[in-house]
């Protein structure tokens, strides 16, 4: 059967193209196209409530969004939420990783329990934490009053809502940082520690001068992953406050969602998403560059 042989060799000659094809098609259709289309929409005034067809307005939507105080507030909030959550997660994650790096009984079980928040569904987490936070019948205030502390409004007040949401993020994601750092710590060689101890270094000096510098590349990886994730946090905030009270927990992602699916201003929503995209991009590039300069 001559034809079959030819077909077979065609496949063989082009395997390097055929095999990655599904992945390439997936990336193009599901990632490149939506991003490019969002960029395109950001130059239009597409608005479903007006009943008008879409028209290109170039930078008008950008001007309108940049003049919107609500946008600037959401931008600042996106940063403050990320900074608060990620910094606490990093410090706590480091402490937990250092503890788990020692040998003790029940270490495997502890690691397993720590994984649980990571595998929970965010919306379910949001609903459960909302019950904790309920100022009247919630567990959080019950515990506070038992300890003789004043009740808090938690997500019910504009002054406490961001820390309350960050706490949920910290609860969920600290274990991930801890586990990443733990893998970094486990791969460190023992020799520098032994010689430092021989030279009489204190535990603190050992941590500060040896452990931290050696684990920094891993730490930066964890930071990149967490910061990108925290910048675009949506599920927990949407499930818990929907951006409220008022707009006081509205981050860029929540604002973009409201602009698109509640106000149906698709053009302006795209502008917000373009900014979020650039923000995440710049952050990632900065951290990658920092990591490279540290490795050199």
Partner 1 sequence: MKSKFMLVILVVLALFSVSAQQKEIRVLLANHPYGDLLKAAIPEYEKATGVKVNVESLQESQLTTKLTTEFATRSSTVDVFMTRPLQEGKMFYKNGWYEPLTGYDFSDYPKNALDVATFGNKAYIVPLVTEWEVLYYRIDLFKKAGLSVPTNFTELEMAAKRLNSSDMAGFASRGKGAAAVTQLSSYVYNYGGTYLDKGKAAFDSKEAIDAIRFYGKMLANYGPSGVTNMSWENIMPLFQAGKVAMWTDASVFYGQIVDPTKSQVPAENVGIANFPAGPKGNTPFIVVSWGMAIAKQSKNKALAMDFIKWATSQGLAKRGMLANITMARNSAWKDAEVRSKINTGLIATQEYAAKYGIPYDRPYMSAVGEARDLIGEVIIESINTAGTSTKLEALAKDKVDAVNGLLEDTGEYGVY
Binding site for partner 1 (CB under 8 A): 47-51, 130, 134-137, 151, 153-158, 161, 241-242, 244-247, 258, 261-265
In the complex, the smallest distance separating the C-beta of residue 148 from partner 1, rounded to whole angstroms, is 15
- Tell me how far apart the alpha carbons of residues 56 and 127 are, in angstroms, rounded to a whole number: 41
In the numeric block, which tokens belong to residue 69?
């105080």
Residue 64 or 291 with smaller CB distance to partner 1: 64
Residue 165 or 177 with smaller CB distance to partner 1: 165
- Tell me how far apart the alpha carbons of residues 143 and 135 are, in angstroms, rounded to a whole number: 11
Judge whether 49 and 253 are in contact, CB under 8 Å.
Answer: no
In the complex, the smallest distance separating the C-beta of residue 270 from partner 1, rounded to whole angstroms, is 14
In the complex, the smallest distance separating the C-beta of residue 58 from partner 1, rounded to whole angstroms, is 18
CA 59 to chain centre: 29
Q: Find all residues with CB under 8 Å of 119, minimum gap 6, and list them.
A: none
Residue 158 or 221 with smaller CB distance to partner 1: 158
Q: What is the DSSP letter of 53?
A: P
> What are the φ and ψ backbone dihedral angles of 152, each rounded to 5 degrees?
-115, 155
Residue 97 or 255 with smaller CB distance to partner 1: 255
Judge whether 156 and 150 are in contact, CB under 8 Å.
Answer: no
In the complex, the smallest distance separating the C-beta of residue 262 from partner 1, rounded to whole angstroms, is 4
Residue 231 or 256 with smaller CB distance to partner 1: 256
* CB atoms inside a 10 Å sphere around CB 141: 20
In the complex, the smallest distance separating the C-beta of residue 27 from partner 1, rounded to whole angstroms, is 22
């Amino acid at each position: 059967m001559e034809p079959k042989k030819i077909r077979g060799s065609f496949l063989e000659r082009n395997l390097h193209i055929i095999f990655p094809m599904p992945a390439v098609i997936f990336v193009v259709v599901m990632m490149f196209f939506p991003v490019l289309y969002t960029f395109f929409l950001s130059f239009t005034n597409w608005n479903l409530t007006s009943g008008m067809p879409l028209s290109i307005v170039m930078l008008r939507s950008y001007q309108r969004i940049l003049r919107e105080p609500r946008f600037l507030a959401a931008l600042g909030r996106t940063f403050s939420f990320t900074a608060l959550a990620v910094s606490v997660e990093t410090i706590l994650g480091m402490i937990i990783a250092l503890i788990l790096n020692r040998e003790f009984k029940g270490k495997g079980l502890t690691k397993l329990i720590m994984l649980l928040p990571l595998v929970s569904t965010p919306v379910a987490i949001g609903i459960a934490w909302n019950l904790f936070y309920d100022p009247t019948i919630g567990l959080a205030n019950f515990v506070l009053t038992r300890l003789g502390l004043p009740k808090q409004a938690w997500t019910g007040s504009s002054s406490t809502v961001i820390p309350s949401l960050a706490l949920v993020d910290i609860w969920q994601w600290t274990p991930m940082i801890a586990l990443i750092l733990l893998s970094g710590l486990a791969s460190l060689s023992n020799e520098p520690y032994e010689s430092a101890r021989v030279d009489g270094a204190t535990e603190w000096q050992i941590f500060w001068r040896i452990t931290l510098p050696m684990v920094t590349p891993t730490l930066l990886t964890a930071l990149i992953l967490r910061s990108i994730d925290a910048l675009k946090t949506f599920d927990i905030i949407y499930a818990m406050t929907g951006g409220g009270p008022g707009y006081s927990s509205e981050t860029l992602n929540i604002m973009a969602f409201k602009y698109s699916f509640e106000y149906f201003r698709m053009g302006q929503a795209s502008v917000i998403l373009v900014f979020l995209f650039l923000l995440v991009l710049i952050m990632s590039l900065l951290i990658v560059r920092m990591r490279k300069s540290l490795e050199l």
